[in-house]
Amino acid sequence: MAVLRYTLLRLLVFAVIAALLWLVGFRGYPLLLSAVFVSGVISVIVLRRSREDVSASLDNRVSTIRERLQSRTEAEDAWNDAEREQRERGEAEHESADENRPSAAGGER
């Protein structure tokens, strides 16, 4: 919501500056270039609080995504560890069963 608010305020500042410059007599590219530059300077000064809100909002969003990614990574690591332990246990049981089985090449007839 903060990003939308900031964007709309930036557009409003641009529109007001463009209208004022148009009333003064600017037209075409000089109007657009001057409006972009002047509205940018004014936005840096006037919309500081809104820009800080956007920054905090994005920081919170990134933190939430990183926490979710970290928890999913930990869950995947735990699952991989459990799978490896189960596979190793199964191989160990298979090897011990092979050792206890009589050999077919032993020569018993």
| Matching residue, tokens 């209208």 | 19
How does DSSP assign 13-52, residue by residue?
HHHHHHHHHHHHT--HHHHHHHHHHHHHHHHHHHTHHHHH
Cα–Cα distance, 8 to 16 (Å, whole number): 12
pLDDT tens digits along 64-73 = 999 999 999 9
- pLDDT by residue (tens digit) across 42-101? 999 999 999 999 999 999 999 999 999 999 999 899 899 889 988 888 877 777 766 666
Domain boundaries, the chain: 2-99
- How confident is the model at residue 68, as a pLDDT? 95
Confidence (pTM): 0.63
C-alpha count within 13 angstroms, C-beta hemisphere, residue 28? 1
